[in-house]
Chain A
């Protein structure tokens, strides 16, 4: 638009475009490009997995006792007689249309199933990351400010334990202690058994649905069920977020402008939060996006422990019943979100951090 403008404003507009908009646009374009390439790589791998698997997709549909004619018909229907490269292109075409095939288990489209289970995972991971941010960032800052003291050591220990603990085991112990012995939280599942399907599913996020419906009993039940698995996931992101926050903060606190601010007589609180912390926000967003992606994936094992009907449970159930369409569909969806968050965090970093240019 600026380039076609023939008025006197052309020059500054063009300068604005070249200086400000174009670099950002360039980052956006290259980001879209790398998402496309990475997605293509992911699809290639899931395609290969689908090809090398020992399960015959035709037999899975027609059954053991089908005649050769029936077998051949389905074989052609599935397009298995075409060259592999053509099959791959058709596969990409299908995925672009969100068609992951039919689940062998319940004869429904995999995409419908995924759309149904995904909000549960989203809800869990989102509350998990909120817990992780709210606890991890202050802990990291605190550790950096008190570097080398016992506070720093405790923060380090907390993170180290988080890195070393098997999440499914910690989930089991959590269930045993807080549900089995203390009875503080709800057990497995998203809501208590009397509240299943009580509120209409609008968003699929049961906390939001309960609020929309104004049903406080369901909300309370759902909250008591989500608090334990979400805290668990939150703890895992806390480990990562607090360590990264600490090292970013240390870098800032050793900078000269911090010394200057202190010499000027600025209070320590203002030095830490108004100066140093302000400068690590961009880096933090990157870290948070990465750990959010990690949580979406890490919820697989957590979901199984807590019988949480999300995408992790969906993939593993499909896995154990050899429902490959469902497994690969789930993998592609998780992979896509993972890649998007990964690349987006990279893009944010490039746009907002002038040094990255």
Chain B
């Protein structure tokens, strides 16, 4: 890299000097495409904001999310010191919303750590090994794919007991099959390519090939799918919370907050409305970002 080159030129170069340089350059190209998509940037902005709110919750929340104030219950919007009013126990709704971002992020993170990883594992092994292993694994995937997700999650949570972690397990158990399908399809195309044969001739074993050469190539289509699925996962988690099967009171989970406000919907509409808007905003953000990412990472799947 010469001194006269700017950072931008270095990033956009046609002739990368090292492997890392090429990677960073490809990433920057993708970022430029994503940046031109206003909707995706709005989505990303909302999610970054949400991360910030979750991290700085104690600083941002005007009140303690658990402190009850029965003298001031069901206070309306914009009332003294409570921008979004208070709930049936006099707790500040804004503060509960702010702390609720942490729960939503927690659920999203856990599901992301379980379902796509499980799907990637099943899909690549199935695609690479082939034969009977492939038939059996894909049969199992198809079976799970044909299940009703919410109802099965309900039954799982009923058996395991209510709680966030169990809700996450239930959601992950029903969410992995599409990832396995995608990973398998990618593996099948990659498996027969020349560079895999070249590595094989160099003596690479199946584990090395799968982890070092197939996984990295499956990641981008998985990221797109996970981002697009995230909205559905948030909605399912909120649904479980709404049914009282997810996060338990007094936890400020958004779905549970709606369920709590449901009883007062006709007279005190904001108690249930405000957390619903929060869920809507976050899942909309994931959908917007997912659409944009698809255009960048997986142009074939787009329109």
Contacts and interface: CB of A to CB of B under 8 A. Distances in A.
A49 interface: yes
Contact of B148 (A49, A297, A305): A297
A335 B280 CA distance: 28
Contacts, number: 134
Nearest to A337: B148
Interface stretch (A57-65, A71-79, A160-168, A269-277): A160-168
A169 B287 contact: no
Given A166-B238, A300-B151, A335-B148, A37 B262 contact: no
Contact of B284 (A161, A301, A331, A338): A161
Given A52-B159, A164-B231, A327-B154, A172 B146 contact: no
B148 A334 contact: yes
B44 interface: no
A173 B261 CA distance: 12
Given A37-B143, A335-B148, A319 B279 contact: no
A38 interface: yes
A221 to B, nearest CB: 20
Interface stretch (B12-20, B123-131, B204-212, B266-274): B266-274
Interface in A178-225: 180
Contact of A176 (B150, B231, B244, B266): B266
B243 A49 contact: no
Nearest to B277: A169
A160 B279 CA distance: 14
Contacts of A18: none
Contacts of A330: 151
Contact of B280 (A166, A319, A338, A343): A166
Interface in B191-225: none
Contacts of B152: 45, 331, 335
A161 B266 CA distance: 24
B242 interface: yes
B150 A297 contact: yes
B283 interface: yes
A262 B13 CA distance: 45
Interface residues of A, number: 54
Nearest to A35: B146
Contacts of A41: 140, 143-144
Interface string B280-303: 100110111000000000000001
B255 to A, nearest CB: 7
B121 to A, nearest CB: 19
Contacts of A175: 265
A2 B276 CA distance: 63
B154 A338 contact: no
Interface string B142-158: 11101111111011101
Most buried by B among A45, A54, A169, A172: A169
A interface secondary structure, majority: helix
Nearest to B245: A319
B242 A301 contact: yes
Contact of B150 (A163, A300, A319, A328): A300
Contact of B151 (A147, A304, A334): A334
Contacts of B273: 169, 172-173
B258 interface: yes
Contact of A164 (B140, B244, B287): B287
B139 interface: yes
B158 A166 contact: no
Given A38-B143, A176-B266, A327-B158, A164 B280 contact: yes
Contact of B155 (A38, A46, A166): A46
Contact of A53 (B159, B244, B255, B284): B159
A331 B158 CA distance: 11
A320 interface: yes
B21 to A, nearest CB: 37
Interface of B: 139-140, 142-144, 146-152, 154-156, 158-161, 231-232, 235, 238-239, 242-245, 255, 258, 262, 265-266, 269, 272-273, 276, 279-280, 283-284, 286-288, 303
Given A50-B159, A166-B280, A166-B283, 16 more contacts: A41-B143, A41-B144, A54-B159, A161-B280, A166-B238, A166-B239, A167-B235, A172-B265, A297-B149, A315-B151, A319-B154, A319-B158, A319-B245, A327-B158, A338-B148, A338-B151
Interface of A: 34, 37-38, 41-42, 45-46, 49-50, 52-54, 147, 160-161, 163-170, 172-173, 175-176, 180, 247, 250, 293, 296-298, 300-301, 304-305, 315-316, 319-320, 322, 324, 327-328, 330-331, 334-335, 338-339, 342-343
